[in-house]
Chains A and B, each alone.
Chain A
Amino acid sequence: MDSRLLDILVDSFPKILIPGLTVTLPLTAIAFSIAMVIAVAAALAQFARVPVITPICRFYIWIFRGTPLLVQLFVVFFGMPKVGITIAPFPAAVIVFSLNEGAYCAETVRAALEAVPSGQLEAGLCAGLSYLQTMRRIILPQAMRTAFPPLSNSIIAMVKDTSLAANITVVEMLRATEQINARVYEPLALYIEVGLIYLLFSTVLTWLQRIGEKRLSAYENRGV
């Protein structure tokens, strides 16, 4: 490897990593947290078949799962100003990623709720718990255990998907890389470098997933 290339890689590393730590990860963390709130609420509403809310949830999920994420970003960032709503790049990305991820995770959580044996709800009611208490104390914790691996998958996918925010001028890792590349033109080396940093983030998350699963599996069969 020639020394110019090596210098470029060493020099660019912090310039890519820092937007990763200050933009990519916060974007993922904030949007995923909001998405989880949306997902649990939408899943519970559908599970309980709340009138009016349930069809609204179905509609929301239909829209956000049925259209490309990039199109959603464009509509909010480039489209909304046309109707007088101008949103800065980062908040626009937070809104879109939250709503998009919320739609997918709502389905994950709903499926997990439905996978809890129906006897659990009946037992809760017969033990003197209200419907809401049973959901909160018995059904939801079991469902979240089931949903944990697919939700971990979703957050790992999301870390990488935030690179799409580059298209609405959010200077996250990919856009930071592009800016460096525009100056030095080393696309192969630089894009591999940013790819490796994404891989590092994903690896850490995978590792956190393992730990999380271990802790959550406390009540699962450890053999009698």
Chain B
Amino acid sequence: MLLRVENVHKSFGALKVLKGVELSVDKGDVVAILGPSGSGKTTLLRCVNFLERADEGVLTFDGERFDLARMAKRDVSRLRKKTAFVFQSYNLFLNKTALENVTEGLITGRGIPKTEAIKTARRALDKVGMLDRADHYPSQLSGGQQQRTAIARAIAAQPEILYFDEPTSALDPELTGEVLAVMRQLAEEGMTMLVVTHELGFARTVSSQVVFMEGGVVVEAGPSRQIFEAPRQERTRVFLQTDQT
């Protein structure tokens, strides 16, 4: 097991958003987190990568156990170097070109020599089909191109796991395909991914595991096939039926 979280609790003021979430990800797994809007999917992902501090919870990463509510700064930055996050709104560095977006974490963050970092970055950009746009600034790229660059930035440092928060939700429908194709390719290469998504097609065909969340708890989790074909929980069934178009 690469990653496991247990008993994650998080409130914003009086609003309890996560109420004891538990999930695990094996190496090479592609885990899709599904669930209605407001169920706490983004919050969970943000807690797992310490962008939010959980009120309670245990994280096991690569065999090491951490208290999510009391993470030491040193552990946070160490774990962040083993993970990467792809945001719904891309969040490319606006003052950097596509290439610099990828090299920044390598050179500044990890101290990799510049020439080597550029080589690595160009390979990553090539993989997502963005090499010909390497010198463009984010403002000169379409949403799909920005998100593919963001994926290149995420994979360049060879993280042990990639987190995605609805990577295609901000995109025009005709642009989601190019991003999903890149993700599908990464999945085939064995990349471990934890993906919050509304794309049921992607969840069904690409992910190996599905976690269905509602109201701040995991309602049901299991192999994608089982969840889609024979959900055990009524709420899962209702969600999958009504959400399918």
Q: Which residues of A are in contact with B by a Cβ distance under 8 Å?
A: 117, 119-120, 122-130, 133, 137-138, 141-142, 145, 218-224
Contact = CB atoms under 8 A, between A and B. Distances in A.
A117 B77 CA distance: 21
A220 B94 CA distance: 8
B94 A224 contact: no
In the A-B complex, the 3 residue pairs with the smallest Cβ-Cβ separation, listed nearest first, are A128-B109, A127-B105, A119-B91
A127 B105 CA distance: 5
A224 B143 CA distance: 11
A222 B139 contact: yes
Q: Kindly state the interface size class of chain B when it binds its partner.
A: 20 to 34
A215 B54 CA distance: 43
A221 B141 CA distance: 9
B172 to A, nearest CB: 13
B137 A218 contact: yes
A123 B141 contact: no
Contacts of B92: 123
Nearest to B81: A128
A145 B109 contact: no
B42 to A, nearest CB: 12
Secondary structure of the A side of the interface?
helix
Nearest to B159: A128
A119 B97 CA distance: 17
Interface in B101-160: 104-105, 108-110, 137-142, 153, 157
Nearest to B136: A224
A126 B51 contact: yes
Interface string B66-92: 000000000001001101110101011
Contacts of A222: 139-140
Given A219-B94, A221-B139, A222-B139, A137 B51 contact: no
